[in-house]
A and B are shown apart, each in its own frame.
Chain A
Amino acid sequence: MISYKADVIIIGGGIIGCATAYYLAKNNISVTVLEASDYIGNGGSSRNGGGVRQSGRDPRELPLVMYGIRNLWPHLSEEIGVDTEYHQDGNLRLGKNVHHREILQGLTDRANKVGLDVRMIDGDEVRKIIPYLSDEVTVASWCPTDGHANPLTTTLGYYKTARKLGARFYTGVKVMELRKVKGELRRVLTDDGSVFEADQIMVAAGYESRKLLGSVGIDVPMTRSLLEALVTEAEPHLFDQMLGTADADFYGHQTKHGSFVFGGSSGFEGFNKDNCTPMTSSITAPAICRGIMKYFPDLADAKIVRTWAGWSDKSADGVPVLGRVEEVPGLIVACAFTGHGFGIAPAIGDQMAKLIMSGTTDIDISALHYDRFKAKI
């Protein structure tokens, strides 16, 4: 049984944990990150479609993501010493019929209300931006300040730089329990009996956060759904924008490498089998392909080289749980990103580090508070 001490412990080695560790280490705070799996960034951090977007987000998390896109993403590659492949070339959400148009109009109106530049454009304007789109596309929402990046290199870039600045990372270390000392959260117990101690502890462990928080009497209402994605071989350059559809049949972008990364759904996401490791089912990738070809007939001959799956950690109201947990002094939580945690991660890391260091954040995160969940009556 071994004992360790740091200023801050972060439970979870995904992009949220690694980014927070970086912004803390940058300010000379001693931080230890505990990751249960053998790999840094093995959850949603490495499995998502790479979207860095403001459009389509709930207003409660919009100020955070806009802050990140304005202040952090533009120079992130230089700062964390990797090519994040960040592109701010806009986001197109495509539609083919009147029903799609209504969905997109709603999204556009909600965005404009909070000062985000999102416009509706017609099929011809869409094809001026991306000529390869099918004639069936009649409408799209267009957000010029959205974009995409490489989630693998970004996550590992935060890890590598935090580690270089002195943050300690342990993989294969599963935290079983949070433990209070004299009413304050100070300790975590791991599966091999080790005890880590710190003044503040952040839980950013994805879906597993719920069980851990339960050990100090806190519950975050969340569930999981298993999403899938695929990647093609390198293709000639077709477009730079991040794409999505009103019907959510697929979303994705073309990478620096030339391959296309697309995610999509079969409709069974909430019911897919938990095989103890994210595994694809045989019906989803073909469904994603059919979805893509309806919009990009030219991609019919593109070869798929790999498919994968990942869990979306869904909060009960679609936005993450973030911030201090007042009734457990010393506890900070950042989880349940509901499938859109990548683009917002730099802002989360930056603001959680500020919260840990100074007790406040620059952006108002009160709407994402852990005890906002009330019964409907």
Chain B
Amino acid sequence: MNTLSDRSRDIGEFVSQPGDEMIICRCEEITKGEIRRAVHEGMFTMTEIRRYLRAGMGLCQGQTCSKLVKGIVARELKVSPADLEPATSRVPMRPIEMKVFANENEDEDE
């Protein structure tokens, strides 16, 4: 067990800062303040932040914002960004229409 394990460890109170209204995840329009507040509500990992706020769930799947989000979360937790896991990437690599994705059996007779 390391210091990151205890979800009740003291990370200080949430204090409003200038810049909290800045949009970080532009696909889902999530602000810096929302991300910082989410950390204080117990979301200590990139995965939980994503599931809780939708940051990283939009069209670009976090390609634009994830490094920024990681920096904000790490600073709030008073850890190095290297201590936070990378956000999980999943198939498909970019958005793909249902009819195209469905078409893997191209060679078979319809």
Give residues in A with beta carbon < 8 Å to B: 2, 38-42, 46, 82, 152-153, 155-156, 159-160, 163-164, 168-173, 190, 192, 194, 232-233, 257, 280, 282-283, 285-286, 289-290, 292-293, 299-308
Give residues in B with beta carbon < 8 Å to A: 1-2, 4-8, 41-45, 47-48, 51-52, 54, 57-59, 61, 85, 90-92, 95-99, 101-105
Cα–Cα, bound, A169→B7 (Å): 5
Say what secondary structure dominates the interface of chain B: loop
Question: A38-B85, A40-B48 given as contacts; is B4 within 8 A of A302 (CB)?
Answer: no
Please pick, from B42, B61, B99, the residue contacting A305 in the complex, using a CB distance under 8 A: B61
Which residues on the B side are within 8 Å of A308 (C-beta)? Answer: 90
Closest chain-B Cβ to A153's Cβ sits at a distance in Å of 7
When the two chains form their complex, are residues A173 and B104 in contact, meaning their CB atoms are under 8 A apart? Answer: no
Which residues on the A side are within 8 Å of B58 (C-beta)? Answer: 305
When the two chains form their complex, are residues B5 and A170 in contact, meaning their CB atoms are under 8 A apart? Answer: yes
Which residues on the B side are within 8 Å of A292 (C-beta)? Answer: 98
| CB nearest neighbor in A for B59 | A233
When the two chains form their complex, are residues B52 and A169 in contact, meaning their CB atoms are under 8 A apart? Answer: no
When the two chains form their complex, are residues A305 and B95 in contact, meaning their CB atoms are under 8 A apart? Answer: yes
Counted as pairs of residues, one from A and one from B, with CB atoms less than 8 Å apart, the total is 119
When the two chains form their complex, are residues B91 and A307 in contact, meaning their CB atoms are under 8 A apart? Answer: yes
Say what secondary structure dominates the interface of chain A: mixed
When the two chains form their complex, are residues B99 and A153 in contact, meaning their CB atoms are under 8 A apart? Answer: no
When the two chains form their complex, are residues A170 and B51 in contact, meaning their CB atoms are under 8 A apart? Answer: no
When the two chains form their complex, are residues B54 and A293 in contact, meaning their CB atoms are under 8 A apart? Answer: no
Cα–Cα, bound, A2→B6 (Å): 13
Closest chain-A Cβ to B55's Cβ sits at a distance in Å of 12
Cα–Cα, bound, A152→B48 (Å): 9
Which residues on the A side are within 8 Å of B90 (C-beta)? Answer: 280, 306-308
Question: A173-B1, A232-B98 given as contacts; is B48 within 8 A of A163 (CB)?
Answer: no
* 26 pairs from A and B in contact (CB 8 Å cutoff): A38-B47, A40-B42, A40-B48, A159-B42, A160-B43, A168-B7, A170-B1, A173-B1, A194-B1, A233-B95, A280-B91, A285-B101, A286-B101, A286-B103, A286-B104, A289-B102, A293-B98, A300-B102, A301-B97, A302-B97, A302-B98, A303-B96, A304-B98, A305-B59, A306-B61, A307-B92
Which residues on the B side are within 8 Å of A257 (C-beta)? Answer: 54
Question: A46-B51, A280-B91 given as contacts; is B102 within 8 A of A168 (CB)?
Answer: no
Cα–Cα, bound, A109→B56 (Å): 44
Cα–Cα, bound, A286→B57 (Å): 21
| CB nearest neighbor in B for A289 | B102
Which residues on the B side are within 8 Å of A282 (C-beta)? Answer: 91, 104
Cα–Cα, bound, A172→B45 (Å): 12
Cα–Cα, bound, A119→B68 (Å): 51
Please pick, from A172, A190, A301, the residue contacting B99 in the complex, using a CB distance under 8 A: A301
The 8 closest A-B pairs by CB, nearest first: A303-B95, A289-B102, A152-B51, A169-B7, A300-B99, A289-B98, A286-B104, A160-B41
Question: A160-B42, A170-B7 given as contacts; is B101 within 8 A of A304 (CB)?
Answer: yes
